Structure 1
Amino acid sequence: MTELIPSLPYITLDEALEQVPEFQALAELPENRELIEISRSVEGMKRHVSCHTSAIVVSDGRLTNYVPLFKDRHDQVATQFEGKTVEDVGIVKFDSLGLRSLSETHDCLQMIEANHGVKITLEKIPFDDRKTYSLVSNGHIAGLFQLETSPGMLQVVTELKPDNFEEFSTIIALYRPGPIENGDMQRYMDRKNGLQPVEYIHPALESILKSTYGVCLYQEQVMQIAHDIAGFTLAEGDILRHAISRKMGGENEGLLAAQREKFVEGAVKKGFDKEETEKVFESLEPSARCAFNKSHAVAYSMLAYRMAYLKTHYPHEFMAAVMTGEADDSAKIAYYREACEKLSDFLDVEINPPPLAANES
């Protein structure tokens, strides 16, 4: 039955029943009614505890004076409070990109130098390598930072088929609950692939949204629209973006109403038609509510792309590095071995057993 539930983040059982007639038909069978009722009763409960991949907290004293702590499955000390609550109790939280992917990349570079005598500088890796984009577009994303997260991500990269870094960097911004639920992800891919015409609610938006096929994907685009249409400063545009993003659940309704009025008034003063301006604001709301920070997307994408480049041109060293990095996870090792076998259809990759007779002194 679970295979009939749409693969959408945060979809509820009732929404799935409404959207999928086959699922509803099974749910109405006498032998399944109790299962559905039990499922409803546990829906929304916390299933597991996870840790932010790169968040660090700093306090002016002992952390135990502010938050309860625990050790995660990797034996690392972590807060029991989630991010928003941590900030509410007065602790500074910031993200630092200190990830296993960085260590694996470093190990890969060392192996490349040892095996080939080539010293690669990450900053000099070209962002226009067609073979790298071809590898990603063919779905060979195992081991790549942020891209190997789920089957849904595999669908995105193979359907989007990025052929330049601008498009590559949108992958991380697209595959998120907001763009999936409001249709922006599919709309972007359809327009990129010529399956849907690129349209703008107002001609003035073309210069801002052209690079994303008319889809408002980034926070910076929201701020620029507020600046160009309504005369907001970029700081005021960020306040508008924040007001829209916090609208969910009725939060900040008063602030949003005030921002809407200010937006329309500012646009009319700049010569825009009031009715058209209101349409622009209404079209902006769904996308702006879940817009992603572009600099964040680009920074993550740079690491993902560089790893993809190394995987494309030095597949043996790359896969050896990521498998070594996950040596304590047998399931991950099996996953990467399978990925190597699939990769061999695309690149020259050979899997050898460990040299048990070798003895390094």
Structure 2
Amino acid sequence: MTGAVASSSALTGTIRLGTRRSALAQAQSGQVAKALEHASGRRVELVPITSEGDTNRASLSEIGGQGVFATALREALLRGECDLLVHSLKDLPTHVPAELTIAAIPARADARDVAITRDGIALHELKGGSAIGTGSPRRIAQVHVRNPRLRTVDLRGNVDSRLKRVADGELDAVILAAAGLGRLGAGGPDGGPLGDLQGELLGLAEWPTAPGQGALAVETAADAPADLLQALAALDDEATRIAVTAERAVLEGLDAGCQAPMAAHAVVEGDVLRIRAVVYAPHDGWRIGLDIAEALDTRTLHEGYIHPNGSGNGADSADGADPISAARRIGLSVAHRLLERGAADLLPLPSPDGHD
């Protein structure tokens, strides 16, 4: 890209934020817009963009997973139709084009999944044959671990349509991200999107979630105006960026594509990074997991860091001493150890074109 964003409205007043059209995307983009208005002193307007993932009703495993949500937005950014994008980080491919940079990763919301039912019965207590809606290979595998008697039903659509299928009795439960429900107001005084339905929060120890789940990625052009990059930097949360960098490095290191039945969750505790990563067999309950705790570089942790443009997983400094680089190395090491333990036998082959 050669300066399309540099000459855009970000320099003259209004900042244009590209977002998918779903209610959830609009809600989370609106939260970022408010924070950016505060940081920049400028008005931020949402620019709705339709992605293939919003129009193609086929299973995500059939149409390419993560990239179907990101590609159209990135193309609009590179054409200069908006100044930045907001993605759900779990939907963003691990590779970020050189023309783009993840300029901010705000503090992560709840990373857990939630099982939604009509009557609050826990997943492990649902009767045999109960229908559980999810299109995620990871969640499908985890459902079979939690309760082998259940059957899973491929599920697409927005949050409201998924919940309606439970309320109407078509499904006995659906698995959704707690962060998305929270951003749509679940738990508020009116009950948010859940209405009379009940939610069971699934603990991360036994039900780790997708790399980056609960976090947002704010993406812009690598050559975006300095004042826009500075305003976005104010939205960045160091601990979240470190954790999700490690999680996404596990996925990258496994080299199995975004629809792999795997989970990775990391957290920063003081100067220690803890990661739980699991690779699942699709249906028989078999899994290979790893829990590690590694020290981060205390010389740079909490003292600020610089992340160069164009990195999909955080930063890679020249000397490798910053905590973002350390997190990526740790994540890649976890992936290597999982492969040594036989995880490759549980993973699908990458797509022929090399895309996530």
TM-score bracket, normalised by the shorter chain, equals under 0.3
TM-score, with structure 2 as normaliser: 0.25
TM-score, with structure 1 as normaliser: 0.24
Higher relative contact order (CA 8 A, sep 6+): 2
Higher percent of residues as helix: 1
Higher percent of residues as strand: 2
